[in-house]
Structure 1
Amino acid sequence: MTEPNDAAAEPGIPRNYPHGPDSSRRDGVPRGRIEGFAWNDSAVFPGTTRIVQVYIPAQYSGGELAALMVFQDGQMYLDPDLEMRAGIVFDNLIHDGSMPTTIGVFVDPGQLGNRNAEYDPADDRYAEFLITEIIPAVRDQLGLNITEDPDLRAICGGSSGGNCAFTVAWQRPDRFGLVLGFVSSFAQIPGGNPYPELIRRTSPKPLRVFLQANRWDLNFDHSDLNWYSNNLLVAAALAENGYDHRIELGDGAHNANHGGVILPDALRWLWRT
C-alpha cells in the first residue's frame, strides 16, 4: 500500500497520499487524444443531458478490436489537475504494456441532479443505458472498433459511481468482466446494501473486482450507513465465494486522493493476464 506523506499525523486524522510517477507525464510516451459529444436523447433516463468524453490511445489504429473501460463521473477522472488523472495513467500504462490498447469512455451523470438516481439503485437501468445507448453512440459517432469480450471490458467509478460500476457488472457480466470501485457508496443503495447476501447465495459470476476503501469514510464510527464497513462486507462475500478480487485500504476520508494514487497499480492488477 502506498505510504502517506504525513505518516506522523495523529490517529483518526485522514491522511493525504502523494502521487507516483505513473500519474505524471513522461517524455517519450505518446499521448492519446480526447473526443466527445453531448448525449441528450436518452430513453432510459429521459430529460437528461450529459457530456461523454472518449480517450483514444495513440496506439489505436482502428484495424484491431480495442479493449474498453467506462468511467462514471467522467470529467473528474480525466482532469489532469485532480486526483485520478486517468488519461495520463492510460498513456503510461498502455505504452509500457501494463494494459491493452483501451478506449476510455468517461460519462458524466445526467444534468438536472440525476446522479444518485442513476448510480445508486441496484437494478439494470444504468447497465441498459450504457449498453444500448452510450457504447453504440461511441462506436457510431467516433467510428471506433471495440471488443465485445467481457474479459477486455472494464467499468470504474467512485462513491456512488463505485457501487454503480459493481451493479453494472453484476447485472451484465456478459458485457463487463472487470470492476474497479473507489470508496463505493454501497451503504446508501436504496433499501440497503444487497450485495453481501446476494454474492453469497448466487453462483459466482465471471468477474474480477478491485475495491478501495478509506478508514475515515462517511459514518466510519457508526453501526448504520458505514461506508467503510460496507466495502469490507462486500469484499468478504467475494472472498467467501471464491471471486478473483482485491481490496486496498487507505487512511483517507470520502475523497479521491488514495484512489487516484493507487489507480496505476489497480489498473495493472485489473488488466493482468
Structure 2
Amino acid sequence: MFQDGWWYLDPAGEVRGAIVLDNLMHRGDIPVTISVFVDPGIFPDAEDPKNRNTEYDAFDDRYASFLPNEIIPEVSKRYSITEDPDQWGICRGSSGGNCGFTAAWLRPDEFRRVTAFLSSFTQMPDGNPYPELIPRVPLKPLRIFLQAGHRDLHWNEPERNWLANNLRVATALAEAGYDFRLVLGDGGHSPVRDAVSVVAP
C-alpha cells in the first residue's frame, strides 16, 4: 500500500514506483507483488481542497481501517491477495510515512511491514506519541524501515524538528527490541536527494 499514490506511480516522476517494482519482480528480488497506490482525499469546492494532513497525520485507525475495509475489497475483486499480514506492507514518506507507521501500529493484523522515510511525526496533532508509547506496550509483530535526513525540515531548530522526531522514534524502537533499520542521509526533505546521499562514499 502506497500513500500519495500518484506521486509514486507517475512514470515521469521522481520515484516511478511501478517501474521499480516490476524490475525487482522480474529479477526475482521480490515475489510477485500487487501494489496499490492511493491518493488522499480532496474537497474540490473547498478553499483548501487537500485532506492529506487530516488523513495522514492523525493518530487514529480511520485510515488503517479504510484500506482493508474499502480499498482492498475492490482490489480483491480482480486479484487473489494473500491474507497473511506478514506479506502486506505499507510505504510512503513525509506525512504518508507516519501514516503508514500508524496504520501498522494500530492494525498489525493487517500491515506488518513498514517503510517510512522523512516522516512528519512532528506534525501529528497533540504531538508525536511514539517515543513514549512504543516502550510501554507489548512488542508488536512489525518490521520497520526508517529513513531520515540530517537536513530535514527544521533540522537545527528546537521546535518542529523533523530529524529529531524521527531519531526519537528510532531510539524507542531500538530500546523496545523491534526489528527495524534506520538509514540517515545528508539531504533535506526530498527522498531522491537524500537517497543519493545515503549511498555516496
The answer as to 2:138 corresponding to 1:203 is: yes
Distance in structure 2 (CA, Å) of the matches to 1:259 and 1:104: 24
Contact 2:98-2:116 at 8 Å conserved across structures: yes
The answer as to 2:95 corresponding to 1:164 is: no
Q: Compared with structure 1, are the counterparts of its residues 99 and 89 closer, same or farther at alpha carbon in structure 2 (3 Å cutoff)?
A: same
Q: What are the superposed Cα offsets for residues 137-189 of structure 1, whole Å, 9 maximum, x if unpaired?
A: 1112xx11111111100000110000000000000001111000010000110
Contact 2:4-2:37 at 8 Å conserved across structures: yes
Residue among 8, 14, 18 paired with 1:87: 18
5 Å-filtered alignment, 1:74-223, equals 74-112=5-43, 113-140=50-77, 143-223=78-158
Distance in structure 1 (CA, Å) of the matches to 2:108 and 2:161: 27
Q: How many aligned positions are there?
A: 192
Contact 2:2-2:91 at 8 Å conserved across structures: yes
Contact 1:73-1:106 at 8 Å conserved across structures: yes
1:256 corresponds to which residue? 191
CA displacement at 1:131 relative to structure 2: 1.2
Task: Give me the TM-score of the superposition, normalised by structure 2.
Answer: 0.91
CA displacement at 1:97 relative to structure 2: 1.8
Contact 1:119-1:160 at 8 Å conserved across structures: yes
Unaligned runs of 5+ in 1: 1-69, 266-273
CA displacement at 1:83 relative to structure 2: 2.1
CA displacement at 1:111 relative to structure 2: 1.1
Larger radius of gyration: 1
Q: Percent identity?
A: 59
* Misfit runs of 4+, over 4 Å: 258-262
Distance in structure 1 (CA, Å) of the matches to 2:144 and 2:193: 17
For 1:75, the aligned partner's letter is W
Question: Whose RCO is larger (CA < 8 A, sep 6+)?
Answer: 1
Task: Give me the TM-score of the superposition, normalised by structure 1.
Answer: 0.68
Say what the alpha-carbon RMSD is for the aligned residues. 1.5
Distance in structure 2 (CA, Å) of the matches to 1:243 and 1:128: 24
Q: Compared with structure 1, are the counterparts of its residues 259 and 222 closer, same or farther at alpha carbon in structure 2 (3 Å cutoff)?
A: closer
Contact 1:153-1:175 at 8 Å conserved across structures: yes
2:47 corresponds to which residue? none
Distance in structure 1 (CA, Å) of the matches to 2:196 and 2:112: 23
5 Å-filtered alignment, 1:39-78, equals 70-78=1-9
Higher strand share: 1
For 1:84, the aligned partner's letter is V
Q: Compared with structure 1, are the counterparts of its residues 170 and 94 closer, same or farther at alpha carbon in structure 2 (3 Å cutoff)?
A: same
Contact 1:84-1:259 at 8 Å conserved across structures: no
Distance in structure 2 (CA, Å) of the matches to 1:124 and 1:195: 15
Contact 1:161-1:184 at 8 Å conserved across structures: yes
Contact 1:204-1:241 at 8 Å conserved across structures: yes
2:182 corresponds to which residue? 247
CA displacement at 1:261 relative to structure 2: 5.7
Distance in structure 2 (CA, Å) of the matches to 1:125 and 1:175: 13
Distance in structure 2 (CA, Å) of the matches to 1:145 and 1:243: 30
